[in-house]
Amino acid sequence: MLALYGHADAGGFWEAHCEEKLISIGWTRLAEEWPGTFWHQKTGSMMIVYVDDFKLAAKHAEHDALWAAIRKVIDMDPETLDGRFLGCSHERFTTSVRSVSSLLDQHPGYHPRQKQGGASTGPPGTPAPAVPPVARIYDPNSTVSVVSYNMERFAVDCVNVFCELSGWDRNKIGTAPTPFLEEANDPVAIFEDDAIKKKGKGKSTEPSVTAASPCTGVLSKIACKALMKIMYIARFARTDLLRAVGVLSTMITKWDTLCDRKLFRIIKYINGTTTWRQIGFVGDNPSELSLGLFSDADFAGDKASQRSKSGVFLALYGPHSFFPLSAQSKKQTATSHSTVEAEIIAADHAIRTAGLPALTLWETILDRSIFLDVYQDNQATARIMSSGRAPTLRHIKRTHQVSVAWLHERVIGPDVNLHDCVSEVMASDNFYQAFCQQG
C-alpha cells in the first residue's frame, strides 16, 4: 500500500481502510450519528478511532484478545493502560461518596421549586409554607470510581505559546479569578480605567492600548493561533473556558483593542488554573443510570448584535453517579424578542444536537431503553414545550428555523421527560453567561 501522506483525501482512505479491517473481525459501526465509534456485540465493547489513535472500553478479561485480533489486521504499537488520548491524561481512582457529595447535591431533584402565591390560610402577611427538603438517596459511605481528565501540560503550553507569540514575559502574566472582563462596563470606561492605572501606578499588567477607538488590536496577528489552541482544551476538558473563547473566536476578522484585553484575561485565568481537572464518577449499576440534559439562554447577551447565547450541558446521572458528557456555548443565529423565545431556541438546539444523539449511543452501551431527562428553569418555556402552543412565537420557524411543534412532539414522546429546575442548580449557566467568581 502506497504512503498517503500529503494526499488530499488521505484521511478518507485511512478511515475506509480502518473500518473495513475492524468490521472483518466482528466490530460494527455503533450508529450513523457517531462516526469513528465501533461496537463489538459479542463482548459488549466499544472502540473509538481518531485517525491513528484507538481507545478501547471493554471488560478487563477481554482486553488482550480484542487487541490481539486488531493487531492481526492493523499494524499498531503496543497498547497502554488508560494513558494519554488526544493530549489528555485519563487518571483513575476511587473515593467515597462523601467526598463528592457536593456535586450530587446539585441534582435538580434535590431542589424543588418553592411555592409562590395562592390563597393563604394564615393571618395577613404570613409567608407561604416552604417546600420540605428532599431526602438524599445516596449512601455517603459508598465507593465511587472516578476518572480525572488531566490537561495541565496542555494548559501550561497554551500560556507558553501566547508568551512566545506576543513576546510577553511568562513570569509577569499573573492570574485572574475568571476568564471574563467586567462586561457590564462600557468599553470606553474600561480603557479610561486602564489609562488611569498607567498614570498613577506605572506599567499596567494588561497589554498596552493607546486609545479607546475600535482600532485593530496589537494581538490580532496571533489571535487565531492562540484561540484555536485554547478552544481545544475548552472542548475537551475545560468547559469553564468555552463561553469566553467562543465569543472571542467570532472576532478574528474584526479584532480590536478590547479583544486584546479579553484574550489576555483568558491567558491570566488559565495561568492560575493549570492544575484544574474535569472529573466524573460512577457508583451505580448500569440499570440505575440516566441522561440529564440542561439548556438555558442569555437574552440579548451579545451587546453588539443583541443576539442571545445558548448554553447546553449533558451528563450521566445516578444516585451515586455524575459524569459530564458534553457542553456547548453557542450564539444564536437570529435576534430573539424575549427570554422565552431565546430559551425555546436553546432547548431545541440542546435536544436536537446533544440529547437525541446521546440516546442512540447510551442505549447501545447500557443495552436497554433509557429516558432523556430535560431540565428547564423557565416555567413559561416549559409550558410551551409541554402544550405546543406559542401564539406569540409564530415567527420563529422563519427567523430561527425552529419548530415549536417538533419540540412539543419530542417532549411528549416516549423517550424524553421534561422536568422543572430552579435557576440555582441550572448546570448550563456557565456556558451562556459570564461567571463572576470561581466555583
* pLDDT given at position 127: 62
* pLDDT given at position 78: 84
Measured distance CA(250)–CA(406) in Å, rounded: 30
Q: Does one domain contain both 89 and 234? A: yes
Q: Does one domain contain both 225 and 87? A: yes
Q: Provide the CATH number for the domain around residue 410.
A: 3.10.20.370
Q: Does one domain contain both 21 and 50? A: yes
* pLDDT given at position 13: 80
Measured distance CA(190)–CA(261) in Å, rounded: 10
* pLDDT given at position 76: 86
> What predicted TM-score, i.e. pTM, was given to this entire model?
0.86
* pLDDT given at position 10: 72
User: Got the DSSP string for 408-422?
Assistant: HHHHTSTTEEEEE--
With respect to residue 119, please indicate whether it lies within any of the assigned structural domains: no
Element (H, E) at 48: strand 45-50
Could you read off the pLDDT of 46-78 as tens digits, one per residue? Answer: 999 988 889 999 998 999 999 999 999 998 888
* pLDDT given at position 393: 94
Q: Which of 247, 268, 283 is at the close of a domain? A: 283
Sequence-distant (6+) residues with CB within 8 A of 121 are none
Provide the residue range defining the domain that includes 372: 285-429
Residues of the chain with confidence (pLDDT) below 50: 1, 186-204, 208-213, 438-439
Could you read off the pLDDT of 21-44 as tens digits, one per residue? Answer: 999 999 999 988 898 999 999 999
With respect to residue 434, please indicate whether it lies within any of the assigned structural domains: no
Q: Does one domain contain both 268 and 364? A: no
Measured distance CA(373)–CA(411) in Å, rounded: 10
Measured distance CA(243)–CA(250) in Å, rounded: 11
Sequence-distant (6+) residues with CB within 8 A of 46 are 30, 37, 38, 39, 40, 56, 57, 58, 365
Q: Pull the grid cell for residue 212.
A: 479607546
- Residue 92, classified by CB atoms within 10 Å of its CB into exposed (0-12), middle (13-18) or buried (19+), is exposed
